[in-house]
Amino acid sequence: MPPTTPPARPRTALLVTCLVDTMRPSVGFASAKLLEDAGCEVHVPPQTCCGQPNYNSGDRAGAKALARGMIAAMEGYDFVVVPSGSCAATVIKDYPQIFAGDPVWEGRAQSLAGRTHEIVSFLTRVMAVETVAARCEGTATYHDSCSGLRSLGIKDEPRRLLGSVEGLTLSEMAEPEVCCGFGGTFCVKYPDISNKMVSNKTADIAATGADLLLAGDLGCLMNMAGKLSREGRAVKARHVVEVLAGDTATPAIGEA
Amino acid sequence: MHEATTPDFKANVRAALANKNIQAALGNAQAGFVAKRAKARAGLPEFDDIRDAARDLKNHVLANLADYLERYEAKVLAAGGHVHWAETAEDAQAIVLDICRAAGAKTVNKGKSMISEECAINDFLEEHGIRAQETDLGEYIIQLRHETPSHIIAPAIHVTVPEVEAEFRKAHTHLDPARNLSQMPDLLAEARGVLREKYFAAEVGITGANMLIAETGQSVIVTNEGNGDLSQSLPRVHIVMASLEKIVPTLEDASTILRVLARSATGQEITVYTTFSSGPRRAGDPDGPEEYHVVLLDNGRTNMLGTEFQEMLRCIRCGACMNHCPVYQSVGGHAYGWVYPGPMGAVLTPSLIGVEKGGQLPNASTFCGRCEAVCPMRIPLPKMMRHWREREFEKNLTPSAVRWGLAAWRIVAGRPWAFRLVTGVAAFGLRLAARGRGRLATLPLGGGWTGHRDFPAPQGRTFQSQWRGQNQWRGRR
């Protein structure tokens, strides 16, 4: 993706995602902090869901209805930033296809797609952030969530920024690019397969010797963290932006 | 056709996950495929450009399919061969049986062919008193076990080495009990010895085709064991079973496909044998069949043309999608319940047997996208699986609980006040239910999740409500 020169203090909307909104607001606050540190003016327009659950379940009409709401909510900002590769990919890749040929909405969907970024790749690619001022003692392993990796090409960006976190060592899994088995509704529609996949993943995580699991998507993280705790493993799980923003005080996912 | 067990996918999955042999066999094989493909790809810098070229050439073929098929047919006829058009699998069965009967065949030797599997030709011939003998090692093993292939290029991938030994000891009654058959090369030598005799017994040889070349009328098979060559050149009659979309315009195009095929499949630059068949033996040829027949199978493929599933017809059956699929790796090929497993099967099966029977497969995907990322023909497999989910939704085949859930979500998320209310209650209620532990071990209606893992509890208040509270005084929204 070619680097674009952002305005001096870009008006930036945080598309916080349903899961972060409901389950883990600290990811939203960490995102806002990182954006402000990078020189963005952060706004949180009232918003609901991007429509991905409906879109991936075959309910195209439902997906369109929710997508229209999101498109309207995010108009008037220089950038829209998402702490999730999956929801970001829905807006960036799927919206233009969903509205292809629609005289009113195709243009608006394309405009939003062009302004929308996953947060870590936004910081590095658009705001040219090279380092963060954060500290986190320990060894982390990073899971590449599928949409961020394969739809948006995010691979080095989180590792580069994590490399600047004081006290943190990265230890790679054997297969960081293999799906954790979350898959949205997949994990409850096909629990047996999902369990097999997440069990492979937690074994891979444990083999790294890391005490901290990081990723860029809360759905995947809840799946892996839930399995790690069910298996009684001591590995903690956090969204990558929490560590980048220096928030290690908030209890890890599934901890109290 | 084989009766599909695809509607029982979930039961098949449970059985496969509980089967220690399947789990042991799958684990090692898949890692090998992935590493070999990655190495082969790295060794050819222009690999992705060739993928683009292969995609474009196959798109061109699909846009002009009838034209190229007619050209191919004319070439085969000119070389003295016969072309048979089979609209359905049953038609193909009848055509093959007629040819075998006319040849007075008691035994038919077979090279590996997924189209023959799609037509269940072995069972059909056996029912009519003709023995069909598989000659590919993997196919030979599963034939002894009375199974179907669990992988399109590695049909016995689900079988462990000790299981193969046990099968051989049962079937090969001549075997010395003291002979060591604990390693794969020993088993290969044993199978080779037994099959060698059988090559000379058959009156008819059946092979598949990886490609059909319109310009020359040739059919192409790629193999590593040489069994395909012996199956097709020793018997008096050679039958090629192929589906319509295997056609490519020219020899040059065939070489484009060959450059991505083996690399994607086994990680080889090219397979050990690449065999071109041009028709019956000509005057002066030292060997070759007296009769040459091509059975061209449609079986629902032309119905895919012009639909959102047309791109599936670019598939060259390399197996890379299933080799890289975490779902396939978890359950193996038999769980898919019909001929074609893995991501390509998840798209193709509903096309060929109907979404009513095959609809489980395109749903059983996380859309992780690894299949599309490795597909040499750049087939957008997840997108097409989503199209099947849309067809199901339109036809009211989506389970009613899911439909209700989606409708409710649309209503809630379609109204910001309702969304605030529902997410607020969920965040508060689940936090309360966790009773300070940070996670829940059980959830009402959430057994799909908590049966296997804990559910991390929310932090208590939604982000949007906290943000509004914190930022109102700062004049931000």
Per residue in B1-37, pLDDT tens? 678 999 999 999 999 999 999 999 988 778 899 999 9
Instruction: Give the ipTM of the model, two decimals please.
Output: 0.96
Strands B273-277 and B218-223: antiparallel
Contact at CB, B17 and A191, closer than 8 angstroms: no
Residues of B in contact with A44 (CB under 8 A): 463-464, 467, 471, 477
Q: What type of residue sits at position B415?
A: R
**CA-based nearest distance B82→chain A, Å:** 45
DSSP letter string, B132-175: EEE-SHHHHHHHHTT---SSSS-TTTT--HHHHHHHHHHH-TT-
Strand locations in A20-170 (E): 41-43, 79-82, 116-118, 135-142, 166-170
Contact at CB, A192 and B366, closer than 8 angstroms: no
Q: Tell me the percentage of chain A whose pLDDT exceeds 70.
A: 98
Residues of A in contact with B392 (CB under 8 A): 58
> Which residues sit opposite A212 in a β-bridge?
A140, A236
Q: Are B332 and B370 in contact (CB under 8 A)?
A: no
Which distant-in-sequence residues (6+ apart) come within 8 Å of B176 by Cβ?
Answer: none
Q: What type of residue sits at position B376?
A: P
Give me the pLDDT at residue B102, please: 98
Q: Are A156 and A164 in contact (CB under 8 A)?
A: no
Read off the pLDDT of each residue in B296-303 and give the average, rounded to a whole number: 98
Reported as a single tens digit per residue, the pLDDT across B161-200 is: 999 999 999 999 988 989 999 998 999 999 999 998 888 8
Which of A29, A51, A182 is opposite residue B366, by nearest beta carbon? A182
Read off the pLDDT of each residue in B90-118 and give the average, rounded to a whole number: 97
Q: What are phi and psi of A135, to 5 degrees?
A: -130, 140
Which of B326, B409, B458 is opposite residue A197, by nearest beta carbon? B326
Which distant-in-sequence residues (6+ apart) come within 8 Å of B101 by Cβ?
Answer: none
Q: What is the mean pLDDT of chain B?
A: 95
Q: Report the distance separating Cα A171 and Cα B414, nearest Å.
A: 42
Which residue reads 């040829």 in tokens? B285
Residues of A in contact with B414 (CB under 8 A): 48, 65-66, 69
**CA-based nearest distance B451→chain A, Å:** 8
Contact at CB, A195 and B453, closer than 8 angstroms: yes
Which of A190, A254, A256 is opposite residue B364, by nearest beta carbon? A190
Q: Report the distance separating Cα A179 and Cα A158, nearest Å.
A: 18
Q: Report the distance separating Cα B143 and Cα A245, nearest Å.
A: 60
Residues of B in contact with A196 (CB under 8 A): 17, 330-331
Decide: helix, strand or coil at residue A220.
helix
Chain pair A-B, CB pairs under 8 angstroms: 212
Per-residue pLDDT for A180 more than 70? yes
Buried b / exposed e over B54-63, threshold 16 CB at 10 Å, is bbebbbebbe
Q: Considering only CA atoms, which of A20, A104, A83, A94 is closest in space to residue A54? A: A94
Distance of CA B467 to the CA centre of its chain: 50
Neighbour-count burial of B272, counting CB atoms closer than 10 A to its CB (0-12 exposed, 13-18 middle, 19+ buried): exposed
Neighbours of A125 (CB within 10 A): 18
Q: How many CA atoms lie within 13 A of B193 on its CB side?
A: 10
Helices (H) and strands (E) in chain B, counts: 23, 12
Q: What are phi and psi of B291, to 5 degrees?
A: -120, 145
Q: Report the distance separating Cα B87 and Cα A19, nearest Å.
A: 50
Q: Which of the 8 DSSP states describes residue B7?
A: G
Q: What type of residue sits at position B206?
A: I
Which residue reads 């498109």 in tokens? A71
Q: Are B6 and B349 in contact (CB under 8 A)?
A: yes
**CA-based nearest distance A60→chain B, Å:** 7
Residues B265/B269/B273/B276 CA torsion (nearest 10 deg)? 90
Contact at CB, B427 and A60, closer than 8 angstroms: no
Read off the pLDDT of each residue in B68-80 and give the average, rounded to a whole number: 98
Give me the pLDDT at residue B471, please: 75
Q: Considering only CA atoms, which of B414, B412, B420 is closest in space to residue B461? A: B420
Give me the pLDDT at residue A3, please: 53
**CA-based nearest distance B383→chain A, Å:** 9
Give me the pLDDT at residue A188, please: 94
Residues of A in contact with B393 (CB under 8 A): 57-60
Instruction: List the single residue in B with minimal CA-CA distance to A153.
Output: B373
Decide: helix, strand or coil at residue A102.
coil
Contact at CB, A22 and B326, closer than 8 angstroms: no
Residues of B in contact with A153 (CB under 8 A): none
Q: What is the mean pLDDT of chain A?
A: 96
**CA-based nearest distance B422→chain A, Å:** 9
Residues of A in contact with B365 (CB under 8 A): 183, 186
Q: Could you give the strand order of the β-sheet that contains B273-277, starting from the edge strand earlier in sequence?
A: B247-248, B211-213, B218-223, B273-277
Indicate the angle between helix axes B416-433 and B463-471, nearest 10 degrees.
110
Read off the pLDDT of each residue in A86-98 and give the average, rounded to a whole number: 98
